[in-house]
Every structure is written in structure tokens, then in C-alpha cells.
Amino acid sequence: MNILFLTSESVPFIKTGGLADVAGALPKELKKKGVDIRVVMPLHKGIDSSYKEKMEKVTEFYVDLDWKHQYAGVYFLKWDGVSYYFIDNLEYFDREGLYGYDDDAERYIFYSKACTLLPKKINFKPDIIHSNDWHTAMVNVFVNDFRKGDLYYEDIRTLFTIHNLKYQGIFNSDYLALAGLDGKYFNENDLKYYDAINFMKGGIIHASHVNTVSENYAREIQYPFYGEGLDGIIREYNYKLDGIVNGIEYELWNPMTDTNLAKNYDENSLKDKYVNKTELQKMYGLPKRDDVPVFAIVSRLNEMKGMDLVRYIMEEFLQEDVQVIILGTGDYTYEEMFKYFEWKYPDKLAARIYYSEKEAHNIYSGSDFYLMPSISEPCGISQLIAMRYGSLPIVREAGGLKDTVIPFNEYTGEGTGYSFANINAHELLFAAKNAIEIYNNKNETHNKLIENAMKQKNDWEMSSEKYLELYENIKA
């Protein structure tokens, strides 16, 4: 099985979001299963020189964009057993940051076209080209377009993964000519989106198969609320749509070996988890108490993460005997809201308006509950990490949160956290109060939920099995 895996970012090289985590972890797991997977990404300026120094230039070629004849250098690096190819072009990628430029359409048309031409240049015939999000969505269009005049592409299949439907790559229709595509692609059943073109729409229509990063999200995006204007197209093509939930890297997120923790622990040594709780309270300047439940949020502070729900109930929630820790940055209104509550309730709430990887590890290990009331969450990784560290997630049943967190059942004792269904602040409050009650009154039940959560298997090994099965089905 030969897979060409295309991404705009990947850990450890460069990261702006969850796509980079997937691109860093999934190919590694598939490689272990005997897949010849090659990862392609742009040679961004922000990639650390320690990686660039190890890269070897293997070839170069030119990409035609309308009247432009653009250079594409190809650099190779073997990392963690996986082959990486980096597409070099200073005009497009020698910049601060990865996205948000006026010419993003041209930059990622160039990259997508280069990726489509690349297999011939490196003598690697893929069974499947696996593209991710809008940055590489146009590859699916190019493969179909090239297929008409080049037998090389005849038996190549494509998989397009949607990590977040919100970001679609919508650009002026003039870019169609730049891509070298004729006017017939500008119609309602193709790239046309109102008076513009939509890269993600093209990816959905032209890919052999489409998947999202959780089964529930694959269902949700077929409805207008989550469909971001593409729900009609997604319903039309739902016969080729699947959902596969993301995993987390168990070597990186392991409370037994994590060097950031005050004391390592697992589900059989939960008393050691409380050493981390005391350290966390000390670190954030909160009273050191074992009897008070600690709630945590490590998140971007924005509307889609459910921060309006949190704002609406926070005053009432802080009347309970609780402690709350916030770590993250985002919209000014939410940052100020948390600073206000920290000022008003200094013994109950600590807000750190920045991000620190080390402190995130400390919070997951030291907190009792993890708040994640997202309005939309394609998959979500934080709830998986929280469960791994025995911090019980309290989530809204959106996207991957519904697929991964089993709500507490008081009759059977089953569950790995707490959940609520509607976009309703008081449902969040009642779920949190229920968690406090269980924590205060039924400690055995609380500990059993922690054990259940820590025993959940949410690693990439399981997800990669599903991707391998999907590849086999597409290839067949």
C-alpha cells in the first residue's frame, strides 16, 4: 500500500492547530503497519534550522500557474521512520506564519499542483493520495483533471479529510485560470460557490472518498447548523463520507512517564494524582485543599469553545465550594471576563492568559474535572488527554466529544465523564453540579469513573487500523 499524505503543517516541524498533530502521529502508526507512506508539506520559513540542516535536496521541477512558471524544490528528510518531502519556493513560503496572506489562494494552488506532480518526480506511484483540509483540497480536482490526458493518474485514488469545515478556502473565481482549470469547473455542481470558488467544496466533490475526524461530526455537517454552507453538497455526496476519530500520542501523554509532573501515577495509584493536585494549587496561588474539586479549562477562548456558556454561569458556579483554573488565550472579551472573576474570587479562580505546554500537563494531572462545553468540536483532543490523566471531562455532546466521552450512568456506574446535550448554559451548570455532588458524596463512584477514563483506549494505534481499512476499501 503506497500512500502520499499531504498536509500544510506537521509536528514536530511546525504547528498552528490539530491538523499538525494528526499529520505527525498517523503516518508514524501506518508506517508500523507496513504502509509505505510519504508525507509532503511546504518548506515553511518557521521550520527550525535543526531540521532544515538535516534535509537533502532530491530534485526540482516547475509548476505552471497560468503565465507563471514557478520553481518547486524538493527536500527530503527521514524522521521517526517516516519519509518527509518539503516543497520549497521562497516567494510562497519564506514568510512569517502559515496562513492569512492576500495571496493564500495562489500559494496553496501552487502547493497543491506541486503535490499532484510530485509522485512522478520522486518515482513513487501512490495507490491513494490523502489530502487534508482546504490547503490541499485542490489536489483532488487536479488528479481528476490530469487523469483525462495522462494515464499515470488513471488508477490513483484520493481521500480527502475534513478536520474543520469552518475553514474552506473561498477565493475569487479569477484563480480558476491561475490553476489552469477551464471555465466548466465554474458551476454549481463543482467549484463555484456564490460568485467565488471554494477549495473545500472541490475536495468533497472530486475526492474518491471523504472522511471527517469523528463519526458524529460526519453526521452533524450534513445539517445547516454545522454545515457551514456546504451541508447540501455533503448530503449529496454522503455515500462516500465516513468518520474516524483522532487519537493521541500515548508516549507523549502518559501520566506514568511524564517528566512535567510532580509525581507519576496510573489508575492503580490514584493517591499519587493528588500530589499533583496540591502542586497545581500551589503553582496557581490557590488554597491547598484536597477536599475541594478543581475544574480546569485549557483552550482557545472563543465562542465556538463554549465560552459564552461558561460566562453565563460563572458567577453562580463560583458560589459552590470549587476551584477553577484557566489556561489559554483568545478573544479579548473572554480574557477580560476570566481576569474579572480572578479579581473577584482570588481564592477560587486562577486565570493564566497565555499558553504553556508544561503547565497544560500539570493541569491535566492536577485537576479533578475538565470543562469542554464546545458549540462545535470536529474531534477534540483535550478530552482524550484529560481522560488519560484521570481528569473527568464535562462536555457538550458535539462532534467527537459525543463519540469519545461516555456520560456517567448513576444506575450502572458506567461512564468516563459527564455530558449535556443542548447549547444551554444551565445544562452545563447542572452537569458540573452533578459532578461536584458525586465528588463530595460518593468518592468510590468518583474514583471508579477516573479508573474507567484512564483505561479508555484512545491512541493512534486504533485510529490507524480504521484508516488502513478505509484505504483498502478505497483501493478496491
Bridge partners, residue 42, by sequence: 87
Largest Cα–Cα distance in the chain?
72
Q: Are 161 and 378 in contact (CB under 8 A)?
A: no
Bridge partners, residue 296, by sequence: 325, 370
Quick one: what percent of the chain has pLDDT higher than 70? Answer: 100
Of 410, 426, 406, 427, the C-alpha closest to 418 is 406
pLDDT of residue 15: 93
How would residue 441 be classed by pLDDT, with cut points 50, 70 and 90? confident
Q: Are 90 and 106 in contact (CB under 8 A)?
A: no
How would residue 251 be classed by pLDDT, with cut points 50, 70 and 90? confident
Residue 413 pLDDT exceeds 90 = no
Query: Taking residues 9-20, what's their average pLDDT?
Result: 93
**Residue boundaries of the structural domains of the chain:** 2-247+461-475, 270-457
Q: Are 60 and 80 in contact (CB under 8 A)?
A: no
* Domain 2-247+461-475 shares a fold with domain 270-457: yes
Residue 442 pLDDT exceeds 80 = no
Burial class (CB in 10 A: 0-12, 13-18, 19+), 102: exposed
How would residue 443 be classed by pLDDT, with cut points 50, 70 and 90? confident
How would residue 215 be classed by pLDDT, with cut points 50, 70 and 90? very high
So what's the architecture of 2-247+461-475 in CATH? 3-Layer(aba) Sandwich (3.40)
- Residue count of the chain, please give it: 476
Mean residue pLDDT across the chain: 96
Enter the pTM of the model: 0.94
Q: pLDDT digits over 348-392, tens only? A: 999 999 999 999 999 999 999 999 999 999 999 999 999 999 999
Question: HSE of 328 in the Cβ direction (CA atoms, 13 Å)?
Answer: 19
How would residue 92 be classed by pLDDT, with cut points 50, 70 and 90? very high
- Going from the C-alpha of 62 to that of each of 89, 115, 262, 416, the distances in angstroms are 10, 12, 53, 53
Q: pLDDT digits over 297-340, tens only? A: 999 999 999 999 999 999 999 999 999 999 999 999 999 999 99
pLDDT of residue 375: 96
Nine-digit cell string for 144: 481528476
Higher pLDDT, 185 or 443: 185
Nine-digit cell string for 112: 497543491
CA–CA gap between residue 249 and residue 267 (Å, rounded):
18
Query: Taking residues 271-282, what's their average pLDDT?
Result: 95
CATH superfamily of the 270-457 domain: Glycogen Phosphorylase B; (3.40.50.2000)
Q: pLDDT digits over 120-168, tens only? A: 999 999 999 999 999 999 999 999 999 988 999 999 999 999 999 999 9
Q: pLDDT digits over 46-88, tens only? A: 999 999 999 999 999 999 999 999 999 999 999 999 999 999 9
DSSP string, 280-347: HHHHTT----SSSPEEEEES-BSGGGTHHHHHHHHHHHTTSS-EEEEE--B-HHHHHHHHHHHHH-TT
Interior CA angle at 2 toward 474 and 72, to 5°?
A: 110
What is the DSSP code (8-state) at residue 98?
A: S
Quick one: what percent of the chain has pLDDT higher than 90? Answer: 95
- Going from the C-alpha of 256 to that of each of 21, 88, 382, 386, 390, the distances in angstroms are 21, 41, 18, 14, 12
